[in-house]
Amino acid sequence: MVDDDPSIVAVVSEILVAEGHEVVSAENGAEALAKVNGEALVLLDMRMPVLDGWGFARQFRASGKRAPIVVMTAAENARRWAEEIGADGYLAKPFDIDALIAAVERHTTRKH
Amino acid sequence: MTALELISLLTQSIFVLIFVLVVWGFVRRPSRTNVDIALFFGAIAIAIVETRVATTLRLPQVEIVSDIVAILIIAMPYLLLRLVDDFSDVPALVNRLAEAGLLLSAAAFLATEGTVPPPILLAVVLYFVALSAYCAVEFIRAARRSTGVTRRRLEAVAAGTLLLGAAILVAGLVPSLPPPLAGLPTGFTQALALASAIAYFVGFAPPQILRRAWQEPELRSFLRRAASLPRLPDTPTIVSALQDGAGSTLGARATIGLFDPETNTLRFQDPHGVLPAEVGEGAYLAWRVFETQHAEYFADAARAHPALASAYRTHRVRSLLIAPISAAEQRLGALEAYTDHEPVFSEDDLDLVRLLADQAAVVLESRALIDEAARVRAREEAARLKDDFISAAAHDLKTPLTTLVAQAQFLERRAQTEPSAPADLAGLRRIVREAKRLSSLVIELLDASRLEQGKLVGEREPVDLVELMRDVARRDTYQAHRISVSADAPVVGSYDPRRIGQVLENLVENAVKYSPDKSEVRVAITQRDGEAFIDVTDRGIGIPASDLPRIFERFHRGSNVDDRRFAGMGLGLFICKGIVEQHGGRIWVESRVGTGSTFHVVLPLEGAH
């Protein structure tokens, strides 16, 4: 997951780990691109310093990666932003943890 | 009928026609000038008609009638001088000489029973010619001072007068000429008389088409100027440009008063210093014209408005031409033109003033539309800023909420599935931290909103800024930094202690936040000339020059600030500035990237509101 807010990164990681997922986190798009290593799903914040969600998505797809992307944003136009970068889904912050878990399950199981 | 007779008949008809037209002009607009014009042409017309009637009907010569006609003819140049006197100051000596000449000529004529000996006739002719020449010169001088229609008319009148003088001179010289030449000048005299009649006709009774043609160049040049006026930076600049334009077009001085519905006055910015800045209901002529919406000409300004007589005298204002400025139903103001001489053809000048006032209305209306468009744009911009503000605020509030909701749900689920598990301290701390963060964001937002309503600063009381600052500096939060407060003595002023405390706290907090641990933050508080000076200096990251002008704006954070490390809405300095300004003070910053920043606050010590 990519998010510049450390609290969100911590709590989302904790929840997903408890659900039996493995989580790699990065605080901006550039760090995420450097860490990417065949993950099954990308949870992506949009407004971030250094490299934002749009930049990350472009470079991520350009490098041939196919993993689904789910946008997580506090902005009102979450859905439009998700469409803009061709994301597979979106979570509008603040989200219910069931919605988070369901989204992660849906996009990871489809792959398997 | 011979050609000469035809010319003579034509000349006479023109003079009679002019007389009819000027009498009509006098009936429509009785003024001293119009009386004098009518008298002058009346003398000519009566002389012509009497001669015509007498010769046509072959009436016997009645001595008394022919004497009156002769005296009227002799009086002609004198009447012309009276006309000249209306618009330019004829020296008393010239007046006395003209009167003396008139009396002597009349006496000579009556005494000699119609057959005037050549030397006396020559003297009378010279008197005629001298007066005509004097009047012609005065008409030319008046023409030089005028513009447009008036100028052209005066030039024609001057030409007519010169030609009339020449005709009289030639006719008067005939008896003194040697016989072979005596027959020659008759045709010449007739031609001069005809030319004079035509020139007078053009000058005193120009057809509408001529007036329009003469007006055109002036109007055109004014319009050319006017086209670019609405784009000038502000209304006062436009008004002053309109004043200049109208003045030079009219060949006079002009001033414009704009109606202010709030005070129910006309507001003048009179560069000539005649009218006061505000003209309200009352004796003012400009107000009268504004109210009746009818352009008016005041031949004698001092008599028309005695209260301003001395101002008129000081500024050499003789007559006034005033026209209302209005667009459709909207009354916008009044255009007033001052002339140092009474305009000879005031009706034409009044026409032009009316046209200029209409043009001024167009310019001012265009300006009003431009202003309105700018207001609409500003409103839209404000609405957009508000939207931006709301969505930025919503975004900032949702970020801690995301952690709060997720963490709380996660703890709840754990409590249900593993009731015996130990408390998740890390998770609980995260909830506390994010809740505090959310709370301070909400307070920041509320402060900004109260600030905009002017409700942020409350009751004031005597506050010692030094003590207040020392309290702030002692907080535990700043333990990683050294905060030194230097002050020689207490600095006491009347402030809202909570809000000024908030400013000091915010400045120290920023200094600490943006500078490395263990570095020093120096605060100096002094007082001088009734003002308190607070300087907060850090050795932090500094503010890039490009951000400096906007650092006190809503939501602006330095471009070198890492959002993640320095949480906050970017409202802190916006609120500080508002608090300081509502205390009657000012705040600014000096900064250099990599070196640090100094925030300066100046607050009045007494009586600030």
Cβ B33 vs Cβ B82: under 8 Å: no
The reply to whether B484 falls in a domain is: yes
Q: Is the pLDDT of residue B301 over 60?
A: yes
Task: For residue B157, name the pLDDT band (cuts at 50, 70, 90).
Answer: very high
**B187 and B222 share one domain:** no
A18–B405: do the CB atoms touch at under 8 Å?
no
pLDDT at res. B585: 93
Measured CA to CA, the distance from residue B34 to residue B42 in angstroms comes to 12
* Sheet of B531-537, strands arranged across: B482-486, B520-528, B531-537, B596-604, B586-592
Which among B395, B410, B433 has CB closest to A75? Answer: B395
Q: Is the pLDDT of residue A37 over 90?
A: no
Which among A4, A75, A97 has CB closest to B410? Answer: A97
The reply to whether B383 falls in a domain is: no
pLDDT at res. B222: 83
Q: How far is CA B250 from CA B32, B86, B275, B317, B432, in A?
A: 22, 19, 19, 14, 80
Q: Is the pLDDT of residue B321 over 60?
A: yes
Query: What percent of chain A has pLDDT above 70?
Result: 96
Which among A15, A49, A98 has CB closest to B562? Answer: A49
**B176 and B74 share one domain:** yes
pLDDT digits (tens, 9 = 90+) for B117-129: 777 778 888 888 8
Q: Collapsing DSSP states into helix, strand and coil, what is residue B114?
A: coil
Query: What percent of chain B has pLDDT above 90?
Result: 27
B403, B411, B413: which to substitute to probe chain A, counting the most A Cβ within 10 Å? B403
pLDDT at res. B544: 86
Which whole number is the average pLDDT over B111-140? 82
Q: How far is CA B500 from CA A54, B484, B491, B534, B580, in A?
A: 42, 19, 13, 11, 8
The whole-chain average pLDDT of chain A stands at 89
Q: Is the pLDDT of residue A1 over 90?
A: yes
Nearest CA in chain B to A72: B402
Measured CA to CA, the distance from residue B359 to residue B221 in angstroms comes to 12
Sign of the C-alpha dihedral computed for residues B208, B210, B213 and B219 taken in this order: negative
B482-486 vs B520-528, strand pairing mode: parallel
Where does residue B484 fall: left (phi above 0), alpha (psi -120 to 50 degrees), or beta otherwise? beta
Q: Is the pLDDT of residue B181 over 80?
A: no
The reply to whether B242 falls in a domain is: yes
Residue B433 touches partner A, C-beta closer than 8 Å:
yes
**B13 and B49 share one domain:** yes
B562–A94: do the CB atoms touch at under 8 Å?
no
Residues of B in contact with A75 (CB under 8 A): 391, 395
pLDDT digits (tens, 9 = 90+) for B209-268: 888 888 788 788 888 888 888 888 888 888 988 888 888 787 788 999 999 989 999 999
pLDDT at res. B566: 45
Q: Is the pLDDT of residue B26 over 50?
A: yes
For each of the domains in chain A, give its residue range(s) and CATH number, in order of start: 6-111 (3.40.50.2300)
Q: Which of B74-78, B163-167, B369-373 has the lowest mean pLDDT?
A: B74-78
Q: Which of A4-18, B53-67, B84-98 has the lowest mean pLDDT?
A: B53-67
Residues of A in contact with B400 (CB under 8 A): 7
Q: Collapsing DSSP states into helix, strand and coil, what is residue B576?
A: helix
- Specify the CATH number for the domain of residue B50: 1.20.1070
- Which residues does residue A42 pair with via DSSP β-bridges, in sequence order? A69
Residue B398 touches partner A, C-beta closer than 8 Å:
yes
Domain count, chain B: 4
Sign of the C-alpha dihedral computed for residues A19, A24, A28 and A30 taken in this order: negative
Which whole number is the average pLDDT over B92-114? 83
Where does residue B251 fall: left (phi above 0), alpha (psi -120 to 50 degrees), or beta otherwise? left
Which whole number is the average pLDDT over B470-495? 85
pLDDT at res. B608: 43
Please tell me the distance in Å from B441's CA to the nearest CA on chain A. 15
A6–B395: do the CB atoms touch at under 8 Å?
no
- If you write DSSP's letter for every residue of B390-438 in order, what string do you get? HHHHHHHHHHHHHHHHHHHHHHHHHHHH-TTSPP-HHHHHHHHHHHHHH
Q: What is the dihedral of CA B137, B142, B144, B149, to 10 degrees?
A: -120
B433–A10: do the CB atoms touch at under 8 Å?
no
**B272 and B127 share one domain:** no
Enumerate chain A positions whose Cβ falls within 8 A of a Cβ in B.
Answer: 4-8, 10-12, 14-15, 18, 27, 47, 49, 74-76, 93-98, 100
Nearest CA in chain B to A15: B410
The reply to whether B387 falls in a domain is: no
Q: Collapsing DSSP states into helix, strand and coil, what is residue B520?
A: strand
**B334 and B417 share one domain:** no
Residues of A in contact with B435 (CB under 8 A): none
pLDDT at res. B348: 76
Please tell me the distance in Å from B557's CA to the nearest CA on chain A. 13
The reply to whether B241 falls in a domain is: yes
Which among A4, A11, A74 has CB closest to B430? Answer: A11
Domain boundaries, position B420: 400-452
Residue B436 touches partner A, C-beta closer than 8 Å:
no
- Domain final position from B374, B392, B411: B374
Residue B291 vs residue B565, higher pLDDT: B291
Cβ B525 vs Cβ B532: under 8 Å: yes
**B153 and B230 share one domain:** no
pLDDT at res. B177: 61
Helices (H), B453-556: 465-473, 497-513
**B411 and B364 share one domain:** no
Supply the ipTM of this predicted assembly: 0.91
Q: Is the pLDDT of residue B556 over 70?
A: no
- Domain final position from B435, B452, B469: B452
Q: Is the pLDDT of residue B406 over 90?
A: yes
A vs B, Cβ pairs < 8 A, gives 67
**B200 and B218 share one domain:** no
Residue B390 touches partner A, C-beta closer than 8 Å:
no
Task: For residue B14, name the pLDDT band (cuts at 50, 70, 90).
Answer: very high
A8–B564: do the CB atoms touch at under 8 Å?
no
Residues of A in contact with B395 (CB under 8 A): 47, 74-75
Q: Is the pLDDT of residue B563 over 80?
A: no
B564–A76: do the CB atoms touch at under 8 Å?
no
Measured CA to CA, the distance from residue B609 to residue B603 in angstroms comes to 11
Task: For residue B606, name the pLDDT band (cuts at 50, 70, 90).
Answer: confident
The reply to whether B289 falls in a domain is: yes
A42-45 vs A69-73, strand pairing mode: parallel
The whole-chain average pLDDT of chain B stands at 85
**B404 and B510 share one domain:** no
Q: How far is CA B294 from CA B54, B273, B302, B326, B357, in A?
A: 47, 24, 20, 11, 11
The reply to whether B114 falls in a domain is: yes
Residues of B in contact with A76 (CB under 8 A): 391, 394
Please tell me the distance in Å from A64's CA to the nearest CA on chain B. 30
**B529 and B546 share one domain:** yes
**B200: exposed, middle or buried (Cβ count in 10 Å: 0-12, 13-18, 19+):** buried
pLDDT at res. B565: 42
Q: Encode burial over B131-160: b for 16+ CB neighbours within 10 A, e otherwise.
A: bbbbbbebbbebbebbbbbbbbbbbbbbbb
- Which residues does residue A2 pair with via DSSP β-bridges, in sequence order? A26, A44
A82 closest CA partner among A44, A110, A26: A44
Q: Which of B146-150, B163-167, B576-580, B586-590 has the lowest mean pLDDT?
A: B146-150
This prediction has a pTM of 0.58
CA angle B17, B20, B24 (to 5 degrees): 140
B564–A6: do the CB atoms touch at under 8 Å?
yes
A14–B410: do the CB atoms touch at under 8 Å?
yes
- Specify the CATH number for the domain of residue B251: 3.30.450.40
**B199 and B53 share one domain:** yes
pLDDT at res. B609: 42
**B499 and B406 share one domain:** no
A1, A3, A4, A7: which to substitute to probe chain B, counting the most B Cβ within 10 Å? A7
Q: Which two tokens stand for residue B197?
A: 């009649």
Residue B110 vs residue B421, higher pLDDT: B421
pLDDT at res. B433: 92
Q: Which of B116-130, B427-441, B549-563 has the lowest mean pLDDT?
A: B549-563
Q: Is the pLDDT of residue B564 over 50?
A: no
- Domain final position from B452, B487, B516: B452
The reply to whether B325 falls in a domain is: yes
Measured CA to CA, the distance from residue B168 to residue B131 in angstroms comes to 12
Residues of B in contact with A93 (CB under 8 A): 398-399, 401-402
Q: Is the pLDDT of residue B493 over 70?
A: yes
pLDDT at res. B518: 83
- DSSP label at residue B135: H
A6–B399: do the CB atoms touch at under 8 Å?
no
pLDDT at res. B319: 86
